[in-house]
Structure 1
Amino acid sequence: MLVSQILKTKGDLVFTAQPDQTLAEVAGLLHSRRVGALVVLDADRVVGIVSERDLVRAVAETGAEALSRPVSGCMTRDVHYAEPGETVDHLLARMTDRRVRHLPVCRNERLVGLVSIGDLVKSKISEVEAEADGLKAYIAAG
């Protein structure tokens, strides 16, 4: 299955933050949107991604004062991307190797979606279940 197929089902809505927003604001957005990460945009350009892990790391390192600092200070700047034509298997391997849970999806350097490891696992499970059902039907038909 391709990332573009996941986005057709899931949708292309991506929750974002701006580099100058405080970590407290970002924590509120993560909570209210019920997501694990936000893509950080400067105008229309992806400049980072901030996750719950980044937030926890910042607070653990500097205490509650971290919440008043801008997200640009703790976001992940080395963003790994996905392209719409990439396969789920390829992205699962990349995410595992790089220990990331979210990948912004870009086409021609424009943000077009976001996939999480949960999205990919859900897709893979559906694919395996469909294959198993097909095999059962084949065997039952004799």
Structure 2
Amino acid sequence: MLVTEILKGKGHAVWSVAPDLPLAEACAELERRSVGAVIVCDGDRVVGVLSERDVVRAIARGGEAVLSRPVSDYMTADVVFAAPGETVGVLMQRMTDRRIRHLPVLADGRLNGVISIGDVVKCQIDEATREADSLRTYIAAG
């Protein structure tokens, strides 16, 4: 399955925050949207990803004082992207190798969605289920 097919099913919604937003407000956005990460955008340009993991590390290192600091101080600035034509297998390998759970999708240089590890796992489960059903049908047909 390709990234474009996953996005057709889940949609292209992207929750983003500005790099100068206080970390506490970004945390509120994570909670409000029930997501594990937000994309950090400066205008139309992706400049980072802020994940729950980034927030936990920031608080562990700097205490609650970090909550008033800007997102840009704690986001992951080395953003790893996905492309619409990539396969789930490629994404799974990239996420595993880089130990990341969210990949912003760029199409023609523009942000077009986000693929999470949950989306990848769901896709793999759906594919395995379809394969098992096909095998059952084949075996039953004799």
TM-score by structure 2 length?
A: 0.99
SS of residue matched to 2:40:
strand
Q: Which runs of 4+ in 1 moved over 2 A?
A: none
Structure 2 residue identity aligned to 1:112:
N
Quote how far apart the aligned CAs of 1:108 are: 1.8
Structure 2 residue identity aligned to 1:138:
Y
**Which residue of 2 is the match for residue 34 of structure 1?**
34
1:42-121 to 2 correspondences below 5 Å: 42-121=42-121
Alpha-carbon distance in structure 2 between the residues aligned to 1:85 and 1:121: 18
Structure 1 residue identity aligned to 2:94:
R
RMSD, matched Cα: 0.4
**Which residue of 2 is the match for residue 6 of structure 1?**
6
Quote how far apart the aligned CAs of 1:135 are: 0.6
SS of residue matched to 1:53:
helix
Quote how far apart the aligned CAs of 1:74 are: 0.4
Identical-pair percentage: 58
SS of residue matched to 1:13:
coil
Please give the per-residue CA displacement for 1:4-28, whole angstroms capped at 9, x wherever unaligned.
Answer: 0000000000000000001000000
Please give the per-residue CA displacement for 1:101-133, whole angstroms capped at 9, x wherever unaligned.
Answer: 000000122100000000000011001100110
Alpha-carbon distance in structure 2 between the residues aligned to 1:37 and 1:80: 13
Alpha-carbon distance in structure 2 between the residues aligned to 1:46 and 1:108: 13
Number of residue-to-residue matches in the alignment: 142
Alpha-carbon distance in structure 2 between the residues aligned to 1:121 and 1:109: 26
Structure 1 unaligned runs (5+)? none
Alpha-carbon distance in structure 2 between the residues aligned to 1:47 and 1:113: 15
SS of residue matched to 1:65:
helix
TM-score by structure 1 length?
A: 0.99
SS of residue matched to 2:84:
coil
